[in-house]
A and B are shown apart, each in its own frame.
Chain A
């Protein structure tokens, strides 16, 4: 506990002082020495792994924790997503869970002393068909019952909120209404990752980057090498050496199956790439996040003026993060159907990240049949907004060895017990 250097507190005064004196900023987190034993090893340095580490230390005083990542912190989905947050889900389980996450996001800048640029600009899901409108009404009612600000609005109100949308009745997919959710918005995803990393580090958590997990060490299980159901975890083998630990948490999203496989655990997950794209910056004209399920596209404008677009996952399972021309073509076509005025805009970049899709569009959280081996996976295309609540609840789960109520519905056992969640409000743009 002795040698720890706390990161300098960010403040207006500090900014001016360093600006004037041209002092360089100190490292935001340590490059820790290698240690071969921890109380908890967390695999995956995305928002989920880092938040779990942070809350383990901050809420439960468990600080002898390592987060290991094969690349750099935020190199997975956490640094590649389109940073949209909302809590207007469809199932009561989903609504309660994501609402807690938004609450944590709301106070995060203060809690972590880092501006995560939460922009509560509102979130609008368009309905182009009667059946979509019916689902929107259903969602609004479920939301209202749980105290979530969410309602169905008519085309003229949509036009007021987002004047660039074509709400005329003679388009190919006329806009019939929208589910409007004022508390939704966007957050600077890198800042969230760095905030949790910095906070965890300040509490003494060791963040080991460029450390790839090659195997999970187990004993007593029914499979080869003591792996599989009935056994328990004893540590991990990494590209830098073995670590012994009685508790290992799998937070590797798109790679979750490969890690679980190393412990002899099968997951209900397939890995699919999700692509996104960003345009050149233009003057502000789109104040809310706009999602269209039927057109498979969503768009928001960043504080710098770029438009960020996303769509649904590529249909074929793969671990390859290459972009495709098909995505760009479809995206451009659908965006122009919504906002014909954008035809002269140029796309600057396109990229992909890996998503861990489950059959019921809900995560898999908590213990597994291998004692001490926990999962926080199955985050699909919607796991960024869930980072804070997942970290908080996973930390509680690991620290107390009991599954907290908020994440009970998301247990791995639901797939063999036949109690799926069925969260159709999970992905913004169809499945």
Chain B
């Protein structure tokens, strides 16, 4: 089970949220060329490694938020989950 840290609700089962995929800055619809627009819509980096991605807390507080997750190990570093290796030590 993947625990995803919602900024409001805290770590929740990924199945309770909606995955929105890789996040890239959206081009300006007023000025983007067709090529830029389609690149944004369809092409992905899809790395085996750290990925910046968007989530939607669909069955909780209904916030959209971003995290960084490792797509091979499942580790989350921004914001880190409490107790994880990347959580930092104070």
A418 at the A/B interface (Cβ < 8 Å)?
A: yes
A319 to B75, CA, bound (A): 12
A8 at the A/B interface (Cβ < 8 Å)?
A: no
Mask for B1-34, Cβ within 8 A of A = 1, else 0? Answer: 1100000000000110001011000000000001
A315 at the A/B interface (Cβ < 8 Å)?
A: yes
Q: Would A318 and B74 count as touching, CB distance under 8 A?
A: yes
A328 to B45, CA, bound (A): 30
- Whether A271 contacts B34 in the complex (CB less than 8 A), given A317-B71, A325-B1, comes out as no
Q: Identify which of B15, B45, B51 contacts A266 (C-beta below 8 A).
A: B45
Q: Would B47 and A257 count as touching, CB distance under 8 A?
A: yes
A287 at the A/B interface (Cβ < 8 Å)?
A: no
Closest-by-CB residue of A relative to B51 is: A317
Mask for A253-265, Cβ within 8 A of B = 1, else 0? Answer: 0010110010000
B contact residues around A270 at 8 Å (CB) = 21-22, 44, 46
A318 to B4, CA, bound (A): 14
B78 at the A/B interface (Cβ < 8 Å)?
A: no
Q: Identify which of A319, A326, A359 contacts B72 (C-beta below 8 A).
A: A319
A317 to B14, CA, bound (A): 12
Q: Identify which of A269, A271, A326 contacts B71 (C-beta below 8 A).
A: A271
Q: Would B44 and A269 count as touching, CB distance under 8 A?
A: yes
Closest-by-CB residue of A relative to B72 is: A319
Please report the number of residue pairs spanning A and B whose Cβ atoms sit closer than 8 angstroms: 65
Q: Would A267 and B72 count as touching, CB distance under 8 A?
A: no
Minimum distance in angstroms from B47 CB to a CB of chain A: 7
Minimum distance in angstroms from B68 CB to a CB of chain A: 13
B contact residues around A359 at 8 Å (CB) = 41-42
Q: Would A255 and B48 count as touching, CB distance under 8 A?
A: yes
A229 to B73, CA, bound (A): 31
Closest-by-CB residue of B relative to A360 is: B42
Q: Identify which of A324, A326, A415, A418 contacts B43 (C-beta below 8 A).
A: A415
A contact residues around B19 at 8 Å (CB) = 315-317
B contact residues around A258 at 8 Å (CB) = 46-48
Please report which residues of chain A, range 272-315, place their CB below 8 angstroms from some CB of chain B when the two chains form the complex.
Answer: 315
A226 at the A/B interface (Cβ < 8 Å)?
A: no
B39 at the A/B interface (Cβ < 8 Å)?
A: yes
A408 to B26, CA, bound (A): 30
Closest-by-CB residue of B relative to A324 is: B1
A136 to B13, CA, bound (A): 35
Q: Would B38 and A418 count as touching, CB distance under 8 A?
A: yes
A120 to B90, CA, bound (A): 63
Mask for B65-88, Cβ within 8 A of A = 1, else 0? Answer: 000000111100000000000000
A contact residues around B39 at 8 Å (CB) = 266, 416
A261 to B45, CA, bound (A): 8
Mask for A186-203, Cβ within 8 A of B = 1, else 0? Answer: 000000000000000000
Q: Identify which of B1, B21, B34 contacts A418 (C-beta below 8 A).
A: B34
Given A317-B51, A318-B72, 13 other A-B residues pairs in contact with their CB atoms under 8 A: A257-B47, A258-B46, A268-B44, A270-B46, A317-B22, A317-B53, A318-B71, A319-B48, A320-B71, A324-B1, A359-B41, A415-B38, A415-B42
- 28 A–B pairs (Cβ distance < 8 Å), ordered by A: A255-B48, A257-B46, A257-B47, A258-B47, A258-B48, A261-B47, A266-B39, A267-B43, A267-B44, A269-B44, A269-B46, A270-B22, A270-B46, A271-B48, A315-B19, A316-B19, A317-B46, A317-B71, A318-B74, A319-B48, A320-B72, A320-B73, A324-B1, A415-B38, A416-B38, A416-B39, A418-B34, A418-B38
Chain B contacts to A: CB under 8 angstroms: 1-2, 14-15, 19, 21-22, 34-35, 38-39, 41-48, 51, 53, 71-74
Chain A contacts to B: CB under 8 angstroms: 255, 257-258, 261, 266-271, 315-320, 324-326, 359, 415-416, 418
- A-B pairs, 4 with minimum CB distance: A257-B46, A268-B42, A415-B42, A266-B43
